[in-house]
Amino acid sequence: MSLKQFKVPLLLLIIGIILTIIGALFKIQHKPNGSLLLTAGTFVEFCAIFLGIIKLIKVARQ
């Protein structure tokens, strides 16, 4: 098992974490679109975790 196989899920996870942190900061400062950024970040994190689990299952079956 190589980490190169998990490059896309890890990249998506990092992007999702960044979006979530920025969204939380926007919410704290009462700036517009904070909720949108939080929602988008959480959705991207979910997609990354889902893709990572699928990759793990594919690797385990080989």
Helix axes 34-61, 7-28, angle to 10 degrees: 160
Per the structure block, which two tokens stand in for 2?
């190589």
Residue 24 in domain: yes
Residue 33 in domain: yes
For residues 17-26, average pLDDT: 96
Residue 1 in domain: no
Residue 18: domain span: 7-61
Does this model's pTM top 0.75? My answer is: yes
Residue 2 in domain: no
Residue 43 in domain: yes
Residue 49 in domain: yes
CB distance 36 to 53 below 8 Å: no
Residue 57 in domain: yes
Count of domains for the chain: 1
Distance CA 23, CA 12 (A): 16
Predicted confidence band at 62 (pLDDT cuts at 50, 70, 90)?
confident
pLDDT at 1: 65
Residue 18 in domain: yes
